[in-house]
C-alpha cells in the first residue's frame, strides 16, 4: 500500500532517510531484526520530535520509536512504516553537580552517558552494554551493574519530558502529571516519546570487578548457591552470570561488581562466590566505572544478533527451579541462560510506586536461543523454569504479546498501565505490541518522500553472537 505524500517539514530537511539514501543501510534495522521502513526521521531537538511525529501521523503508516535500537523485540523499526530515530537527540548535561542531577536525552547511548559523567565522579546504573540506548532502557526498568546498590535506572529518574501522541510536550515528575510519571517508569513504550530524563546519579568513580569462570553442577547446586549468596549479600555487590553448555556439562561465567573505591573493600564481598563451585578462572580488579559500558561497545545496529529471548523473576532458586534451569542449558534447546542479581535497593521501592511492580524478587533469569533454534526451542527449554517464575521484565522479552503483558504487568499494575496507555495515546499511535502481539500492521507497505522506493527485507550483517 502506498500513501499520499505529505511535505516533509522544513525543520527536518536533510533529516529524513528513505531507501535511496546512502544512510539507509545503517538506519533501517535494529540490533535483533532486519527491517525495511519507508522512512527514518532523525530529529535533533524536542521541537523536531514534535514535527516528526506530526509528519509521521500524517502518513497514516505504522510508527516506531527508536532510541538505541537494542530492543529485543525489534519494535524500534518496522516494514513500510516511519521510524522516529532519536539517536541525534543525545545530550548529557549535569544540571546540579552537588545533587548529582543529570539531564540525559533519550537517544544517548549508555557508553556516552558514563563517559560524560566520569569527570564529575558520577555514575548512573544502567545496563551491561554501552551501545544500549537511554530511551528504551530507562522507560522499561534498567538492571545495571550497580542495581542492588542503586536500584533500577527508573528508580533514580526524577522527571521526564514526554511528547504525547497528539504532539503535546509534557514535563512529568512526582508533583506534575504524576500518573504519566508513574507510567513512564516501567511502561514508557506506549505512553509517548520520552525525549529526556532527569536522573539522580550516584557519586562513584571506581568499582571492584571480579570475573570468574566456575563449573556449574548439572543438579543445580552451583546456581542455587549463587542465588542464595546474592540474595543476602551486601547491596554494594551486584552480579551477572552467563550459563552455557560445555559438552554435557555447563560453565558459568560470572561478573561481579562491587560499588567500592578500593580492592580491600571489594574483595570480601566477592569471596563467597569462590566457594560455590570449582573455579577455573578468577581475577578481581579495581576499574573506573565506564570500563563496564565502554565506548568500544558502540556500533551500528544492522540486525546482527538474531535470537529469541524471554525471562522470569524468582525469589531464590529452589532445587526444582535450579535443576530446570540447568536442563534448559544442557538439554536439546541449548538455551543460553543469564542470571542477574536483583533485590537490594530495587526492593526498597513500593510495588505500586512505578509501573515496574516486582519489588520482592531477588533473581532475574533470562533465557535465549539463537538460530537455527527459534521460538519453539525456547518454549521447550523455558517451560519448566518459566512455570515457576513470579513475574517478568519487559526489556528482556523478544515476543511481546498479551501473555507476556500479564507476566510483566500483573494484576492492578496491568489494569493501570492499560488505562493510562489509553489515556495518553487514545488513537493507539504507539500501539504497544504487548497488547496486540503485532508490532506493525502486517503487510502494510508505505512510500514516503520523493526518492523513495519500497525496500527489500535486509540481510543480517556480520553475525555477532553475544551470550545473553
Ligand X SMILES: Cc1cc2nc3c(=O)[nH]c(=O)nc-3n(C[C@H](O)[C@H](O)[C@H](O)COP(=O)(O)OP(=O)(O)OC[C@H]3O[C@@H](n4cnc5c(N)ncnc54)[C@H](O)[C@@H]3O)c2cc1C
Residues that bind ligand X in the complex, under the rule CB under 6 A: 30-31, 65-72, 75-76, 86, 106, 127-129, 132-133, 135-137, 139-143, 188-189, 193-194, 395-396, 466, 468
CA distance 68 to 459: 20
**Burial class of residue 316, CB neighbours in 10 A (0-12, 13-18, 19+):** middle
Nearest residue to the partner ligand X, using Cβ: 136
CB of 128 to ligand X, least distance (A): 4
Closest by Cα among 295, 272, 270 to 284: 270
CB-nearer residue toward ligand X: 66 or 407: 66
Collapsed DSSP state (helix, strand, coil) of residue 3 = coil
8 A C-beta contact, residue 358 and residue 396: no
**What is the Cα Rg of the chain in Å?**
22
**Cell numbers 530446570 label which residue?**
324
CB-nearer residue toward ligand X: 141 or 449: 141
CB of 147 to ligand X, least distance (A): 8
The conformation of residue 189, written as its DSSP 8-state character, comes to B
CB of 264 to ligand X, least distance (A): 28
- Taking residue 96's Cβ as centre, other Cβ atoms within 10 Å add up to 11
CB-nearer residue toward ligand X: 105 or 225: 105
CB of 85 to ligand X, least distance (A): 8
CB-nearer residue toward ligand X: 124 or 132: 132
8 A C-beta contact, residue 352 and residue 413: yes
CB of 57 to ligand X, least distance (A): 16
The conformation of residue 372, written as its DSSP 8-state character, comes to T
- Taking residue 447's Cβ as centre, other Cβ atoms within 10 Å add up to 20
CB of 278 to ligand X, least distance (A): 27
CB of 112 to ligand X, least distance (A): 12
CB-nearer residue toward ligand X: 304 or 330: 304
CB of 268 to ligand X, least distance (A): 25
CB of 453 to ligand X, least distance (A): 25
CA 145 from centre of chain:
13
CB-nearer residue toward ligand X: 191 or 258: 191
CB-nearer residue toward ligand X: 43 or 68: 68
Pairing type for strands 39-41 and 82-85 reads parallel
CB-nearer residue toward ligand X: 106 or 322: 106
**Cell numbers 538506519 label which residue?**
27
CA distance 181 to 166: 18
CA 6 from centre of chain:
33
CA 259 from centre of chain:
22
CB-nearer residue toward ligand X: 145 or 220: 145
Closest by Cα among 9, 12, 47, 7 to 163: 47
At 370, list the grid cell. 539463537
Residues in the chain: 468
CB of 41 to ligand X, least distance (A): 13
| Non-local CB neighbours of 428 within 8 Å, separated by 6+ positions | none
CB-nearer residue toward ligand X: 324 or 404: 404
- Taking residue 271's Cβ as centre, other Cβ atoms within 10 Å add up to 11
Amino acid at each position: 500500500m502506498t500513501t499520499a505524500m505529505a511535505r516533509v517539514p522544513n525543520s527536518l530537511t536533510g533529516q529524513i532517510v528513505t531507501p535511496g539514501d546512502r544512510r539507509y543501510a545503517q538506519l533501517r534495522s535494529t540490533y535483533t531484526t532486519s527491517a525495511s521502513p519507508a522512512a527514518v526521521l532523525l530529529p535533533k531537538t524536542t521541537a523536531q520530535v514534535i514535527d516528526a511525529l506530526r509528519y509521521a501521523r500524517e502518513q497514516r503508516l505504522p510508527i516506531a520509536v527508536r532510541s538505541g535500537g537494542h530492543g529485543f523485540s525489534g519494535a524500534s523499526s518496522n516494514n513500510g512504516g516511519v521510524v522516529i530515530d532519536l539517536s541525534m537527540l543525545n545530550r548529557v548535561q549535569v544540571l546540579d553537580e552537588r545533587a548529582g542531577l543529570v539531564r540525559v536525552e533519550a537517544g544517548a547511548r549508555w557508553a556516552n552517558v558514563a563517559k560524560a559523567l566520569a569527570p564529575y565522579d558520577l555514575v548512573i546504573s544502567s545496563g551491561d552494554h554501552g551501545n544500549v540506548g537511554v530511551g528504551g532502557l530507562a522507560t522499561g526498568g534498567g538492571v545495571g551493574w550497580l542495581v542492588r546498590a542503586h536500584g533500577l535506572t527508573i528508580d533514580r529518574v526524577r522527571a521526564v519530558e514526554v511528547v504525547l501522541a497528539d504532539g503535546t510536550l509534557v514535563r512529568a515528575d512526582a508533583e506534575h502529571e504524576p500518573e504519566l510519571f508513574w507510567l513512564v517508569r516501567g511502561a514508557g513504550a506506549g505512553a509517548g516519546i520520552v525525549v529526556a530524563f532527569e536522573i539522580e546519579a550516584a557519586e562513584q568513580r571506581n568499582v571492584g570487578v571480579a570475573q570468574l569462570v566456575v563449573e556449574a553442577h548439572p543438579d543445580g547446586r552451583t546456581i542455587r548457591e549463587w542465588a542464595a549468596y546474592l540474595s543476602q549479600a551486601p547491596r554494594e555487590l551486584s552480579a551477572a552470570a552467563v550459563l552455557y553448555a560445555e559438552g554435557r556439562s555447563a560453565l558459568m561465567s560470572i561478573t561481579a561488581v562491587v560499588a567500592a573505591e578500593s580492592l580491600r573493600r571489594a574483595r570480601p564481598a566477592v569471596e563467597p562466590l569462590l566457594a560455590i563451585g570449582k573455579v577455573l578462572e578468577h581475577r578481581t580488579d579495581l576499574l573506573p566505572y565506564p570500563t563496564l559500558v565502554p565506548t568500544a561497545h558502540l556500533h551500528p545496529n544492522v540486525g546482527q544478533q538474531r535470537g529469541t529471548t524471554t525471562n522470569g523473576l524468582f525469589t531464590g532458586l529452589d532445587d526444582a527451579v535450579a535443576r530446570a534451569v540447568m536442563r534448559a542449558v544442557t538439554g536439546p534447546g541449548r538455551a543460553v541462560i543469564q542470571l542477574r542479581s536483583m533485590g537490594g535497593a530495587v526492593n526498597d521501592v513500593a510495588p505500586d510506586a512505578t509501573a515496574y511492580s516486582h519489588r520482592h524478587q531477588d533473581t532475574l533469569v533470562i533465557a535465549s536461543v539463537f538460530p537455527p533454534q527459534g521460538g519453539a526451542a525456547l518454549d521447550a527449554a523455558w517451560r519448566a523454569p518459566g512455570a515457576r517464575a513470579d513475574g517478568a521484565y519487559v526489556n528482556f522479552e523478544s515476543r511481546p504479546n498479551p501473555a507476556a503483558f500479564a507476566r510483566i504487568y500483573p494484576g492492578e499494575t496491568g489494569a493501570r498501565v492499560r488505562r493510562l496507555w489509553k489515556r495518553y495515546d487514545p488513537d493507539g499511535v504507539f500501539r504497544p505490541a504487548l497488547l496486540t502481539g503485532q508490532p506493525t500492521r502486517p503487510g502494510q507497505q508505505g512510500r514516503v518522500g520523493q526518492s523513495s522506493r519500497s525496500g527489500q527485507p535486509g540481510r543480517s550483517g556480520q553475525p555477532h553472537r553475544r551470550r545473553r
